[in-house]
Amino acid sequence: MDLSDCGAPMHTRPSDSVLLSVTGRDGPDTTARLTGLLADAGAELLDVEQGVVQGLLTLALWVRLPEGARVGESLRALPELARELGVTVDVRAVPPAASPEPGPEPLRYVVTATGKALGVRDVHSLTRELAAGNARVERITRLSETPLAAVELHVTLPADADPTALKGALLALSMASPTFDVALQRESLYRRGKRMVVMDMDSTLIRIEVIDELARAYGVHSKVAAITERAMHGEMDYDESLRQRVALLAGLDARVLHDLAANLPLTEGAETLIRVLRRLGYRTAVISGGFSVAAEALQKRLGIDFAYSNALEVQDGKLTGRTVGTIVNARRKAELLETLAKQEGILLEQVIAVGDGANDLLMLEKAGLGIAFRAKPKLREAADTSISAGGLDTILTLLGLTARELREVG
């Protein structure tokens, strides 16, 4: 390596700096020996970035040499050291930048892409949308191991940009592909500082709607489904639709409910999610418009901290067709989330809420991060982010946890 022909001037002004770009075989002492050479030269370290992919090192060192120092003299030993280490070093002068006009800080976001395996087309589609949205990628971090299944991109947007447009573009990208999910989160102190996860039950934590299964067992499924359809079209509110559907279950043997609750089919990733959250000290809760027998069975089975849902009235071992107590509707879900967070001394910004239906919208809006899980388009558009391709354990990736970290917590 001839430093006189490396792109850096032989003499630097006091305000000049030098960028060393190092690529090649990664060794256990590569960074130590390079920084040792710079330290001996009296260099001031301005910035450093390092990454290793499949044993190949990429290292950038931005330094300022002492005033009046000559690059060739100060870094005389660099070519021989580079050959010894098996790396290539490109040295370039960085001219002093003009002082920027004071202004607002750019908006910082984290984009998480997850899937069974992320292909180059997936990454291309994602980065193309980011570029179109004027988002500058500053860093990409791999969260998964082999195969490549999850990456995290740290991006910035101009201070006057509208992140809503970027969110919509990424949502459309995710909806167009059945193989991967893309989530956009504002980078802040609370992104990895979440302390509570609150979930809906039916079609979220479990794969079924309990009331549909009870109705099917009792031979009234078509009638229950018709009421559900009317409610979905706005012909009646949730409370009235629940009363009418529950009324159709009058006379059903309560053992059917208990047997169903004992064998609820969990959604993919549910057990992993709850187990890891518990190990990390998170508080967990089910807040459901479903039924308490099922919610409490899940609470015991998974070790969930809290469970709130509707209680079915039982007399002489049979359902009466009525509920007991306050109905857990959309507004009640949001109230319970807020009350529970306050009770536990947790800020709303530190709460994640997960649901799949319109009845979960207020709860998702109340939380610091609202996740639409395998939801209809309207809820996906309203939520902070969505998961459709992956299981519930994808939430752990949104927290920035790597595969290695997840192995550590078991």
Positions marked active-site: 200, 202
Is 263 in contact with 221 (CB distance < 8 Å)?
Answer: no
Q: How far is CA 1 from CA 8, 11, 38, 42, 125, in A?
A: 12, 18, 16, 21, 39
What are 307's strand-pairing partners? Answer: 286
Is 91 in contact with 78 (CB distance < 8 Å)?
Answer: yes
Query: What are all long-range contacts of 99-106, with beta carbons under 8 Å and residues at least 24 apart?
Result: 103/159, 104/159, 104/160, 105/159, 106/136, 106/156, 106/157, 106/158, 106/159
* Residue among 113, 192, 110 nearest 151 (CA): 113
DSSP 146-187: SS--EEEEEEEE-TT--HHHHHHHHHHHHHH-SSEEEEEEE-
Residues 6+ apart with CB under 8 A from 137: 127, 130, 153, 154, 155
DSSP label at residue 356? S
Please give the structure tokens belonging to residue 277: 């959250």
Please give the structure tokens belonging to residue 206: 């479990």
Distance separating alpha carbons of residues 353 and 219, to the nearest angstrom: 34
Written as one letter, the residue type at 138 is E
Cα dihedral across residues 226, 201, 369, 141: positive or negative: negative
Distance separating alpha carbons of residues 285 and 32, to the nearest angstrom: 47
Distance separating alpha carbons of residues 42 and 69, to the nearest angstrom: 10
